[in-house]
Amino acid sequence: MAFLGIIAAGGIFAGTNPSYTSYELAHAIRTADIKFFVSEPELLENVILACKETSIPASSIFVFNIHAPNSPVPHGLKSWTWLHTHGEADWDRFNDKKISETTTAARLFSSGTTGLPKALNMTHYNFVAQHTIVIEHRPRPYPIRRLVANPMFHVSQVPRAHTSPLRGGIVTHVMRRFDLELWLRAIPKYKITEINMVPMMVVLLITSNHPLFTPSTFSTIKNSWSGAAPLDKSLQARFKAMLPNDAPFNQVWGMSETSCIASMLYYPGQDESGSVGPVIPNCDVKLVDGEGRDITAVGVRGELCIRGPIIVNKYHKNEEANKASWDAEGYFCTGDVAFFGKDEGEGRPIYIVDRKKELIKVRGFQVAPAELEAVIIHHPEVMDAAVVGVQHSQEDSEVPRAYVVRRPGSSLTEEDVRKYSGEKLTKYKSLDGGVKFVDAIPKNASGKILKNLLREQAKKEMGAKL
């Protein structure tokens, strides 16, 4: 409702994470040129602080008190119902492609896994392209009933939850936040046919031992997928075993800069190899090596680059990032390391290895943290894990360091983890940077691990030892 109202009024939607501190909100305000705020009452403290710091007047803060319309609104602020007092007007419509390509509808944020999030301009054309290619290109032969439990402000949900349901007549059940038991109960209750997940949800389900995590819970599912980060294919297979035989559980790939999904297998295609499918129609992809040369061979790793109608209209007021991220041919350089598989008729499948900046350089070898994480998570006493590279104290080289969340009651030791991974991986992938047990792995709203925070934490921990 707020999304459509903002755009109908000629504004630009800029969703922010409700867990943001006032510092993070202030960064979002400055980066995206935010002028007005619509906030739920329980989030007002940080919103007011951030608005004061960025000179947004209190009169530009609207309280979305829909659940308690008679509750008092803080002095100087307005209830969102004030916006209803200005009458109605018809939508401004345009059919001009150029206007659509250059008119920003949403100013969303990059994932922030390598630093502070950047604001990007998602146009009306991006929204139309994302819906048309992903949803309407191959209509489903079943009624779509979705359960959405991922953050509504994030690019993974903005097209999927705010625009596609209305355009495509898709029944969409929205959870305020992901709750394992409520999510499992909602699927049979509402006869859900499609679910989209992130690896964190898959791992939580598999390791939960919840009595509702059974095939009968998922009997109505026709199609499902996981995105936001690579999912180990063995975990993918374990979740797929809970679904009906003809219900795919595939991986998809996309990012903020691609307006959501950029590669996928269309229903009823199924993939069990760990790929994220081929690039979607009307888009081009290429792989380049460290010198910018094209890679065409199967199985050879390079940086994934993409262009097409789903690519956003650059970062907002960030020319440095724009110059670094788009090449001379108009390709967006994603920073993801990937390789192509063999084309079996649907297009070249893409396999995501890891983020380019997160590869660990161990004595000349490149080690993908995702590979080590997948091994560690399989340990029966491990709930979650993340791996980063740290500088070796005696060598001019990085070494892997693991952060591990143990199961409740576990007495797992560092030596246990190192031995377990060492039995499955070659020697240069050993956890020579150590193992640190933590209560939780820091992640952003879409489930991506915040490796930059772990690297900073590792520097402090390793520095204290030296």
CA atoms of 310 and 327, how far apart (whole Å)? 16
For the chain, percent of residues with pLDDT exceeding 70: 97
Instruction: Read off the pLDDT of residues 57-109 as tens digits, 9 standing for 90 and up.
Output: 999 999 998 887 788 899 999 999 998 888 887 877 888 999 999 999 999 99
Instruction: Read off the pLDDT of residues 21-70 as tens digits, 9 standing for 90 and up.
Output: 898 899 999 999 999 999 999 999 999 999 999 999 999 999 998 887 78
Please give, one letter per residue, the 3-state secondary structure of 241-275.
CCCCCCCCEEECEEEHHHCEEEECCCCCCCCCCCC
- Residue 412 near residue 420, CB atoms below 8 Å: no
CA atoms of 218 and 244, how far apart (whole Å)? 7
The pLDDT assigned to 148 comes to 94
CA atoms of 233 and 227, how far apart (whole Å)? 13
In this prediction, residue 393 has a pLDDT band, given cuts at 50, 70 and 90, of low
Phi, psi of 367 (to 5 degrees): -115, 125
Give the 3-state secondary structure of residue 153. coil
Give the 3-state secondary structure of residue 36. coil
Phi, psi of 382 (to 5 degrees): -110, 130
Q: What is the distance, to the nearest Å, from the Cα of residue 31 to the centroid of all Cα atoms in its chain?
A: 20
Give the 3-state secondary structure of residue 302. strand
Given a cut of 60, is residue 233 above it in pLDDT?
A: yes
DSSP string covering 176-222, please? SS--HHHHHHHHHHTT--EEEE-HHHHHHHHHH--TT-SGGGGTT--
The pLDDT assigned to 50 comes to 96
CA atoms of 207 and 465, how far apart (whole Å)? 34
- Residue 362 near residue 397, CB atoms below 8 Å: yes
Phi, psi of 3 (to 5 degrees): -60, -55
The mean pLDDT value for 210-238 works out to: 94
On whether the pTM is more than 0.85, the answer is: no
In this prediction, residue 431 has a pLDDT band, given cuts at 50, 70 and 90, of very high
Task: Encode 315-352: b = buried (16+ Cβ within 10 Å), e = exposed.
Answer: bbebeeeeeebbeeeebbbbbbbbbbbeeeeebbbbbb
Instruction: Read off the pLDDT of residues 189-208 as tens digits, 9 standing for 90 and up.
Output: 999 999 999 888 998 899 88
CA atoms of 347 and 278, how far apart (whole Å)? 5
CA atoms of 134 and 80, how far apart (whole Å)? 34
**DSSP conformational letter for 408:** T
The pLDDT assigned to 354 comes to 80
Q: What is the distance, to the nearest Å, from the Cα of residue 239 to the centroid of all Cα atoms in its chain?
A: 19
Instruction: Read off the pLDDT of residues 345-360 as tens digits, 9 standing for 90 and up.
Output: 889 999 998 888 888 9
Q: How far is CA 281 from each of CA 9, 42, 137, 372, rounded to the nearest angstrom?
A: 32, 43, 9, 33
**Long-range Cβ contact pairs of 6-14 (< 8 A, separation 24 or more):** 7/105, 7/106, 8/91, 10/92, 11/36, 12/104, 12/105, 12/106, 12/107, 13/105, 13/106, 13/107, 13/158, 14/106, 14/107, 14/108, 14/119
Instruction: Read off the pLDDT of residues 102-131 as tens digits, 9 standing for 90 and up.
Output: 999 999 998 665 567 899 999 999 999 999
Give me the domains of the chain, ranges plus CATH numbers: 11-93 (no CATH), 119-355 (3.40.50.12780), 359-465 (3.30.300.30)
For the chain, percent of residues with pLDDT exceeding 90: 69
- Residues β-bridged to residue 152: none
CA atoms of 350 and 286, how far apart (whole Å)? 10
Higher pLDDT, 166 or 310: 310
What the block records as the tokens of 69 is: 């319309």
**Residue 331: partners with Cβ closer than 8 Å, 6 or more residues away:** 284, 286, 305, 306, 307
CA atoms of 276 and 253, how far apart (whole Å)? 6
The pLDDT assigned to 186 comes to 98
Count of other CB atoms within 10 angstroms of residue 314:
16
Tell me what the pLDDT averaged over the chain comes to: 91
The pLDDT assigned to 466 comes to 37
Given a cut of 80, is residue 256 above it in pLDDT?
A: yes
The answer for 292, left when phi > 0, alpha when psi is -120 to 50, beta otherwise, is left
Rounded to 10 deg, the angle between the 199-208 and 180-189 helix axes is: 90
- Residue 277 near residue 263, CB atoms below 8 Å: yes
The pLDDT assigned to 395 comes to 61
Specify the residue for token string 């161990």.
Answer: 362
Single out the residue of 422, 436, 433, 427 nearest to residue 400, CA to CA.
433
